Amino acid sequence: MSDLHFNSIYGTFDSGNPANKTTLYGLLVIAAFLLLLGCINFVNLTTAQATQRAKEIGVRKTMGSSRAQLITQFLSETFIITLLAVIISVTLAPVILKLFKDFIAEGVKLDLLHQPHLFVFLFY
């Protein structure tokens, strides 16, 4: 079963060409590197903003804000940033699919109206 998508003697299900292992491994390495780079960047930015956030929390507590209000504020900020990221990524996905059409099989497309499980994935 592990050789099914990579060997032409088995035939393919959706497109006429089998997948190329070297391309797949190359994209996997690039994706892992970008994910690692994003994690390092997130930790770096969070550490750099910790002192500014501590001052903000101190000022808000001095002004009479409760713990629940602070938690609500931080969670709502995180939700808004995540929602904007999802909107931007869904908007850019068709453009990126067109740019990489040489590497991606022909049947791969982003069709939100006919794939409702994508909404469940995006908003879960």
Residue 38 phi, psi (nearest 5): -65, -40
Could you list the pLDDT tens digit for every one of the 124 residues in the chain?
A: 566 666 666 555 555 566 677 888 899 999 999 999 999 999 999 898 888 888 989 999 999 999 999 999 989 998 999 899 989 988 898 888 888 888 777 777 777 777 778 778 877 7
Of 14, 27, 10, nearest to 105 by C-alpha is: 14
Contact partners, residue 20, CB within 8 Å, separation at least 6: 6
Could you tell me the pTM of the whole model? 0.58
Helix 21-62 and helix 67-99, axial crossing angle in degrees, nearest 10: 160
